[in-house]
Amino acid sequence: MFTIENLARFQFAMTTIFHFFFVPLSVGTVFMTALMETIYVKTGDEKWKKRTKFFGSIMLLSFAVGVVTGIIQEFQFGMNWSEYSRYVGDIFGAPLAVEALLAFFMESTFLGVWMFGWDKLGKKLHNATLWIVFVGTFLSSLWILAANSWMQNPVGYAVRGGRATLISFSALLTNPQTILEFAHVTTGFLLTGGFITAGIACFQILKNREVDMFKPVLRLGLLVALIASVGNFVAGDQQMIEVKNSQPMKFAAAEGVMTTTENPAEWAMVGFYNQADKEEIFGIHVPYMLSILTYHSPSSKNPPIQGVQELNKKLAEKYPEAAKELHGNFVPPINALFWTFRIMAGISMLMILLSALGLFWTRKKKPWLYENRPWLHIYGWFLYAPFIAITSGWLVTELGRYPWTVYGLFTIRDSVSPNVSVGSLIFSNSVYFLLFCFLGSVMIYFTVQRMRKGTEGAETAYVELDPFNKESFSVHDTQDEEETSKENEDKEANK
């Protein structure tokens, strides 16, 4: 259990998942805050300015914690995956360098301008700075997902001197996996922003804090959540079709297909599997459904869907060297993939349903939801659902690539650092875990504090943040006055 490979994988999973909590949170809240400020600029309604500042303060918190967790993630790459870094450095370096020099620079610069630019810039210009931040976050996501997509479906490369070398930058960006993964992930960011906004508004209404201020926010959050949820569902469907073609083993494990299907194929709604024998222990199946989900048609002319057993034999024949290293086992953790995929898909459909119902229940003619406390609680706590869905989706993506770090090219065993020890990994895992607990607690504590203070508290927070505000110099002014007074007193005494 405590092997270098397992501990390095655990650390990668822990750092990536925790960092990935803050990516959709940051991008989603940037979008919602920019949207609210746009409404303020268009309508001139000061209430929307207060709402913008309230959610903007939560956005800034998520950015701060997200940057720290991102740095920790890079540390673990350098420590535990040196062989992987050596092998893919030429390819990974390009998109990550662009991400850091262009996208992250754009985000951080204009975020500072927005944060300190209240009442110093014109309304439209100030609002534009936040939209630039939003564009920067999307560009940042594009470059990181391009790097990850290359690991899933390597294109535009050549192996020279035992290292992968990039020969086509355009192939990296036009990789089908990049396009579909980007669409799926970024719509996930937007729906997270929608449900976070709606959930916080529900808690504020439940606590009877500025109820009229947060009712329109709840409706706006649900509207964004509905549009983004539908887009996310469509993008996810297309991405899974691509996975079936480029990574059939991941697809077969996620759908619980142990042996090649007949046509039309039945879908395993519930299933438990024997990993060693690659067999189903128990399952509940729905006729025709897997063909409909995969090909959008129950036709018997569809190609059969290959099962885990057959695919494992094919991979062993295709990659004989890796087969020796892995003892012929190319099968990812089937039960984990099967259930995380269903959790993601199930929550995805639930998000569409709840956002649509929420909009209907908050319509002007009969705004029933605002007075219904049980359902307000459900919508409030549902703000955590996008994080569960996104984490499940990320586990499907990463676990399903087993045994490869770069699909078909480089295995996990070949990727770990040769000079790390079990003891050092246990120590760094423990430190990271405690640090993540602390950072998560800080984020929750300050968010709850911000909610308690409401929109008026957020207004004060920006005054405190502004380094150019007169009050920021008041301490120094007072000190100067005290020093001048003391000098005068000394002069009088000397006389």
The residue-averaged pLDDT of 29-39 equals 97
Cis peptide bond prior to 264, omega within 30° of 0: yes
The pLDDT of residue 491 is 60
Query: Of 307, 332, 357, which residue constitutes the final position of a domain?
Result: 332
Checking if the pLDDT of 244 tops 80, the result is yes
User: Is residue 405 assigned to a domain?
Assistant: yes
pLDDT in tens, 84-122: 999 998 888 888 888 877 778 888 899 999 998 988 899
DSSP 73-120: HHHHHHHH-HHHHHHHHHHHHHHHHHIIIIIIHHHHHHHHHHHH-TTT
| 8 Å CB contact between 392 and 344 | yes
The pair of structure tokens assigned to 359 is: 């909009």
Q: Is residue 439 part of a domain?
A: yes
On whether both 276 and 229 belong to a single domain, the answer is no
Q: What is the pLDDT of residues 191-208, one digit of tens each?
A: 999 999 999 999 999 999
Q: Do 202 and 288 sit in the same domain of this protein? A: no
> What pLDDT band is residue 462 in, cutting at 50, 70 and 90?
low
Please tell me the total count of domains within the chain: 2
154's tokens: 């390597």
Q: Is 163 helix (H, G, I), strand (E, B) or coil?
A: strand
Q: What is the pLDDT of residue 25?
A: 93
**What's the pLDDT at 96?**
82
448 and 353 together in one domain? yes
Q: Is the pLDDT of residue 478 over 80?
A: no
**Domain assignment of residue 416, yes or no:** yes
At residue 250, does pLDDT exceed 80? yes
Residues 220 and 346 in one domain: yes
Q: CB–CB of 400/253 below 8 Å?
A: yes
| Model confidence band, residue 73 (pLDDT cutoffs 50, 70, 90) | confident
Q: 283 forms bridges with which residues in the sheet?
A: 271
User: Which letter does DSSP use for residue 472 in this model?
Assistant: G
> What mean pLDDT, rounded, does the chain reach?
90
Per-residue pLDDT averaged across 41-67, rounded? Answer: 92
Are 260 and 302 in contact by the 8 Å Cβ rule? The answer is no
> Do 317 and 348 reside in the same domain of the chain?
no
Burial class of 242 by CB neighbour count within 10 A (0 to 12, 13 to 18, 19+):
middle
3-class DSSP assignment, residue 269 = strand
At 163-195, the pLDDT tens digits run: 999 899 899 889 999 999 999 999 999 999 999
Domain that holds residue 381: 4-247+335-453
3-state secondary structure of 329: coil
119 and 176 share one domain: yes
Are residues 254 and 310 located together in one domain of the fold?
yes
Clarify whether residues 89 and 184 are in a common domain: yes
Instruction: List Cα–Cα distances, 216 to 204, 212, 294, 364, 435, in angstroms.
Output: 12, 8, 39, 11, 37
Say whether pLDDT at 454 is over 90: no
Is residue 341 domain-shared with residue 222, that is, in the same domain? yes
Could you list the beta-strand ranges (E) of 221-349.
Answer: 267-274, 279-286
Provide the pLDDT for residue 71: 82
Does residue 263 share a domain with residue 165?
no
Rg (Cα) of the chain, in Å, rounded?
26
| Percent above pLDDT 70 for the chain | 93
